[in-house]
Amino acid sequence: MAKARQIVKRRKAVSNIKKITRTMQLIATAKYQKCLQRAMGTKPYTQRITQLVTELAGQVTDINHPLLQTNSGSGRVAVLVITSNRGLCGGYNAQILRTALERFRQVEASQRQIQLQAAGKKAIAYFRFLGRALHKSYSHFDDRVRFEQVQGLADEFMAAYERQEVDAVYVVYMRYISTARQRPEIIQLLPMSAPQSEQKTTEAATPVQYEFSPSPGELLAELLPESVRVRLFQCFTDAAVSEQVARMVAMKAATDAAGDMIKYLTRTYNRARQTQITMELLDIVGGANAISAS
Amino acid sequence: MARENLFHCQLITPDAALADELVSSVVVTAHDGELGVLRDRAPLLCRLGVGGLRMQTPTGTRQFFIDGGFMQVYSNELVILTPQARPIDQIPVQDTQRQLKEWQEKTAHSLAEQETKDVEVRRLRAQLRLAVKNK
């Protein structure tokens, strides 16, 4: 009966694991709904800021802002890699880190140094394992990232860019497209691409004659940093949603796999038990036959 | 209230849209002082300051604290974009007073720290002023 007892023990262990993964799946689903709601809540602000930049770009003839100019003197490129703080989310972190490493290779091939910044414990641990020097690391960004937190980070990037300490700033994160699709993506945060006015692209009739306070140039100078902050914030909210989706999918797969294993173990146990009974019966019948024959 | 005097007003922060309703007038703190907006105002793009926002709706007045940002008026649609906003009746007076005292007692060791201190003190003072006035 030793084998059957072992199978029962194993089945119990698997069933406990299934309970845990199922709970984690439910938690991830709840968190995903919240994160998605937050990510959708940030969209109107982002869209309006972008719209204002576009409107202003049509009014300012000579846009000259440090964030739009290309730096080339420092030979350094800042890369921010956004991963999760926790594991058990399938290939989420591995995909981001793989994409980041590809970009590192490209940058290093062009004889430029990387100023690496990591957000999320997984990225920090991975780059430490690889022996890469981390310029800065952040592990305080969770699934409820606040704008103020990201604002500080964006301001640091912009200050470093304006001081010409870095030639460009890239962000590697998981972009949320839909529940079924997320994709690791690299965006160039700085230098910004020059805003195009709507008139140039869509050839609208007459531009709106706005009254400006202060001047359009000053307004644009304030709006450009804000649009950088908003873009970085969007990266963080997208990453939070993608993480929860990945965890949800991974935990569902784990729950299903545990269910399959329980079924398999139950079948194996029944067979082992049946074999045991048959063997015992054979023993008894064999014994009885031997007695009657003698 | 006559419906023809109303226009659309939205208050949007990075976290959420806090207000989206028909109003008869809005008074907002711009970068150079308070600014009133009524229906049929000419298109305007304006930078905002730290202070109050008062919306007169058909059902009453709604008041918010806003922390800078931008305002756009176009075709009877007013959009206020601000990094931080809060209804005035939700400002905790005692907490704000305590925070203000803490910031005022802090010693700044560099120019950047002094700037942060000034911004925080100004922001907390504005919140406190609005909250006390509202009581």
Which ipTM did the prediction report? 0.86
Give me the pLDDT at residue A34, please. 92
Q: A144: distance to nearest CA of chain B, Å?
A: 10
Asked if B2 contacts B18 with a C-beta cutoff of 8 angstroms, the reply is no
Contact assignment for B32 to A210 by CB distance below 8 Å: no
> Which helix H or strand E contains B94, and what residues bound it?
helix B93-105
Asked if B133 contacts B51 with a C-beta cutoff of 8 angstroms, the reply is no
**B68 and B104 fall within a common domain:** no
How do B25-30 and A211-213 pair as beta strands?
unpaired
Q: What is the CATH number of the domain that holds B22?
A: 2.60.15.10
Span A177-224, pLDDT tens digits: 998 999 999 999 988 877 766 554 455 556 778 899 888 888 888 899
**B69 and B50 fall within a common domain:** yes
Average pLDDT for chain A: 90
**B12 and B64 fall within a common domain:** yes
Mean pLDDT computed over B29-33:
93
Q: B130: distance to nearest CA of chain A, Å?
A: 22
Contact assignment for B16 to A208 by CB distance below 8 Å: no
Mean pLDDT computed over A6-15:
94
**B43 and B22 fall within a common domain:** yes
Give the structural domain span for B45: 3-88
Both ends of chain A: CA-CA distance in Å?
31
Annotate A206-268 with DSSP letters as a single string.
S----EEES-HHHHHHHHHHHHHHHHHHHHHHHHHHHHHHHHHHHHHHHHHHHHHHHHHHHHH
Which residue, among B85, B68, B72, has the nearest Cα to B18 in the 3D structure? B85
Give me the pLDDT at residue A246, please. 94
Give me the pLDDT at residue A194, please. 73
Contact assignment for A222 to B74 by CB distance below 8 Å: no
**B62 and B115 fall within a common domain:** no
Mean pLDDT computed over A28-51:
91
Q: Which chain B positions have a beta carbon within 8 Å of A49's beta carbon?
A: 70, 81
Q: Which of A48, A235, A237 to mutate to test the interface with B (most CBs of B within 10 A)?
A: A48
Query: Given pLDDT bands bounded at 50, 70 and 90, which one contains residue A55?
Result: confident
Residue A66 has pLDDT above 90, yes or no: no
Give me the pLDDT at residue B100, please. 92
Please report, rounded to a whole number, the percentage of residues in chain A having pLDDT higher than 70: 95
**B103 and B47 fall within a common domain:** no
Size of interface A-B (CB pairs under 8 A): 71
The residues of A whose Cβ lies within 8 A of any Cβ of B are 38, 41-42, 44-46, 48-49, 52, 55-56, 146-148, 151, 208-214, 216, 218-219, 222-223, 226, 230, 233
* Residue of B13, B14, B43 lying closest to A209 (CB–CB): B43
Give me the pLDDT at residue A2, please. 61
Q: Which chain A positions have a beta carbon within 8 Å of B45's beta carbon?
A: 52, 55-56, 210-213, 216, 219
* Residue of A56, A147, A223 lying closest to B15 (CB–CB): A147
Residue B62 has pLDDT above 70, yes or no: yes
Annotate A157-201 with DSSP letters as a single string.
HHHHHHTTS-SEEEEEEEEE-SSS-EEEEEEEEESPPPPPPHHHH
| Token pair in block for residue A8 | 């029962």
Give me the pLDDT at residue B19, please. 92
Query: Given pLDDT bands bounded at 50, 70 and 90, which one contains residue A143?
Result: confident
- Residue A217 has a CB neighbour count (10 Å cut-off) of 16
Mean pLDDT computed over A38-59:
86
Provide the domain count of chain B.
2
The domains of chain A, with CATH numbers, are 31-249 (3.40.1380.10)
> Which helix H or strand E contains B96, and what residues bound it?
helix B93-105
**B18 and B74 fall within a common domain:** yes
Weakest-pLDDT range from A192-206, B28-42, B75-89: A192-206
Span A220-262, pLDDT tens digits: 888 999 999 999 999 999 999 999 999 999 999 999 999 999 9
Is the omega angle on the peptide bond into residue A214 within 30 degrees of 0, that is, cis? yes
- Distance separating alpha carbons of residues B81 and B47, to the nearest angstrom: 10
Residue A95 has pLDDT above 80, yes or no: yes
Contact assignment for B74 to A49 by CB distance below 8 Å: no
**B9 and B74 fall within a common domain:** yes
**B54 and B67 fall within a common domain:** yes
Give me the pLDDT at residue A56, please. 83
